[in-house]
A and B are shown apart, each in its own frame.
Chain A
Amino acid sequence: MKLRLLMSLICIPVFAHHGSTAYDTSKAVVLKGATVTKYVWANPHVIITLDVKDDKGNVQHWSAEAGTPQTVTLSGWSKTSVQLGDVVTVYIFQSKTGNLVGRLNKIVLADGTELRDSALGYREAEGDGKQ
């Protein structure tokens, strides 16, 4: 498992619930082979935490938020969509602080199913995140 940072051009989005100023929404970080360590189906926002190895084999711990349970449900999510231990690919708009935290763009499950964020999952151009 390798952490690969893939930068892509994505149109500037607007959050429905609260501000996006903390996140760098000009490009997405892509975490491939990330293992889900927590999936919190909660208000105000759904949270997912992930472990992923960097190029040196060190495990990094990431946290990401999505929309409210009510709004991501409209995008096909549910309380059981993601399970602990799932290995997924995650697209994240990282915090400008450089900390390993961000706003989700989308999660790609092992079977290819895409779970898109209610706020930022629908603002991207087709083909984003591909090298």
Chain B
Amino acid sequence: MKTRNALAALLALSLVATAQQRRPQTLYQKLEAAHDPGGPAPKRDLTGSWTGPLTPKYVDAPPLTPLGQKLFKANIPDPFSASSNDPWSVCDPLGFPRSDTTETRGMVFAPMPGRMIIMTQYQKIWRSVWMDGRELPKNVGAKGGPDSAWYGYSVGRWDGDYTLVVNTVGLDDRTWIDRRGYPHSVDLRVEERYTRVDHNTLDLTLTIDDPKIYTKPFVLAKNRFYWIPNQEDEEQLCVPSEAIEYKKLIVEPAGQDEAKGKK
């Protein structure tokens, strides 16, 4: 009997394995599996289209300040839940750095005179990163200072020949920094370090500093992007009317919140 049970279990496992092997791979998974460096990295050049995973690797946040704890507690994650207050669930702007931590399937670097344009495929976002030596604005959001913005104000510089460092301030505090619901204040400062490891590989380390909300600076996420061979991008949009319809037709009747114990 034991032998028969073991054989049955083995058969079931093999069927699962066979079925899983049939599942098509994403472009990212294919490129990751192929692991082709494509030659050395060109100097000071990230130009082109890159693909990433759905979500980067998150790092645990440090202890929050009392204000941070209060804001974090009020945020209800899961954009696919009827009770969530994730701004993403109604297709509000992801803002920055959320655009670096959510739906990171596509990214484009497009240099222009005096600046680098960084575009993200999801929601067709672009950011201007000034490379002309200017300083970041001060007192953003304060009386007399510039207004905060969904994607803030960014400047960039090369650290050596293969790492682009982008610093950003002035970020609208209505956004979350990731889908876990971590908040930020308008004083948030973000550093992105893009390191081109070889022709086909680009690593990102995202570090944030927001003393009003977190007790110390920390690495929020790490991500890896691969060069897209045919350089074609996809269209990927969060459409408010479609999000509303999805909740009405699927989320609410399916009882997704009840199943997760949210009500």
Tell me if B112 counts as interface (CB < 8 A to partner A).
Answer: no
| Distance in angstroms between the alpha carbons of A23 and B258 in the assembled complex | 11
Checking A45, A99, A126 against B246 with a beta-carbon cut-off of 8 angstroms, the contacting residue is A45
**Which of B79, B105, B250 is close to A65, meaning CB atoms less than 8 Å apart?**
B250
The count of residues in chain A whose C-beta lies closer than 8 Å to any C-beta of chain B is 36
Whether a CB of chain A sits under 8 angstroms from the CB of B34 is no
Name the B residues within 8 Å of A118 (CB-CB): 23
Could you tell me if B19 and A47 are in contact, using CB atoms closer than 8 angstroms?
Answer: no
Q: Does B16 contact A (CB under 8 A)?
A: yes
A17 to B250: give the CA distance in the assembly, Å.
Answer: 15
Q: Are A74 and B25 in contact (CB under 8 A)?
A: yes
Residue of B nearest to A19 (CB): B260
A74 pairs with B24, CB closer than 8 A: yes
Does A42 sit at the interface, judged by CB under 8 A? yes
Partner of A122, one of B23, B79, B237: B23
Question: How far, in angstroms, from A17 to B78 measured CA to CA in the complex?
Answer: 11
Query: In the assembled complex, which residues on chain B have CB atoms less than 8 Å from the CB atom of A21?
Result: 256, 259-260
For chain B, give the interface size range. 20 to 34
CA distance A99 to B20 in the complex (A): 29
- With beta carbons under 8 angstroms apart, the residue of A16, A22, A40 that contacts B245 is A40
How many A-B residue pairs lie within 8 Å, measured between CB atoms?
99
A125 touches B260 (CB 8 A): no
Check B236–A99 contact: CB distance below 8 A. Answer: no
* Closest B residue to A98 using CB positions: B255
- Kindly identify which residue among B20, B26, B245, B249 contacts A74, using a CB–CB cutoff of 8 Å: B26
Cβ–Cβ contact B249 & A49, under 8 A: yes
**Quick one: closest B residue to A68, CB to CB?**
B236
Chain B 212-238 per-residue mask, 1 if CB under 8 angstroms from chain A, else 0: 000000000000000000000010111
Which residues does A use to contact B, with CB under 8 Å?
11, 16-19, 21-23, 40, 42-45, 47, 49, 63-65, 70-71, 74-75, 95-97, 99-102, 118, 121-126
Query: What are some 13 contacts across the A-B interface (CB < 8 A)?
Result: A11-B15, A11-B16, A18-B78, A21-B260, A40-B246, A42-B246, A47-B246, A63-B250, A70-B236, A95-B254, A95-B255, A102-B254, A123-B16
